[in-house]
Structure 1
């Protein structure tokens, strides 16, 4: 309807729900292009899947240098470390070889030891390799003397050191293993009195 002055009234100005800024003279509606730009700057698109390290994704062991190789410890070195007392002894005896081997084997087994190998040749030479727990070192030393063996000087010293170290150390060292490589040279009874036996020097 025409108003006063002959002009038609603007419906936007007469509607109380529409707000008009007097200085600007336009409606306060957000521009669609400006709205899209704001959304593009504020919200970021989802990136690719990030793999989180957890118990289901363990880290594999690797070297930091290409020329370094992972090596397992030497088994022979580990065995040498577990048997620190490895004694090599020489002795002489006037006993018959087969009888001496049987008596020594039974005595070692009776003291809780283990005979790993034994043998004799036609020249009367006996080789025995046996092991025992260190707490039985005095018994082993005694049975070697009781069997009629003439141990070498170095053999007496080594066995004496073993017995003294075992006695002075804590009791738990008694379960450690000692190894003896025994080499015996047997001589006939008629030669034992007149010939100096090797290994007694």
Structure 2
């Protein structure tokens, strides 16, 4: 998979770009967990989601937020990281101007950034939010949430406890015009260690394929 370097708000950002042959293939960006707690674009959840989207026919980009790996800059409390994500989407769109659909997927901190990106970018047609840390970050900006998506978490998650995820999902369910699908994986922790990774990715695959089928009818 080709390594790419593209311009971000604070200098160069490092990514992995995996294109499709079809010029109108849907596009997706995948956002990694917290930079200050070891989160990188090579996190197993991020890596597996990247390949899952590619197998479904997406052109995919994952990247390191500022200050991670070879990405320039330094951690910025989520504010700069949101700008990084917007730059990554700009870059992906510039390479794929005829993309039919645009998705964002994020894990943990990346899920929080991804859902903020939804609010800025009306062209995003779907999202995957894995283990969103609703106990640590305010998600009240999702008013209204502009697109339908999947929220997925484990019942044994001690980093982002399920009760906080339930509260977030219940608030999203109150909104009209979108459908939030919530899947909980029994026994899985925050990082979906084996044997839960395949099950989690399977749910992502099923959900995205269903949405793509609905959009082509």
TM superposition score normalised by structure 2: 0.24
Larger radius of gyration: 1
TM superposition score normalised by structure 1: 0.25
Q: Which has the higher contact order (CA 8 A, sep 6+)?
A: 1
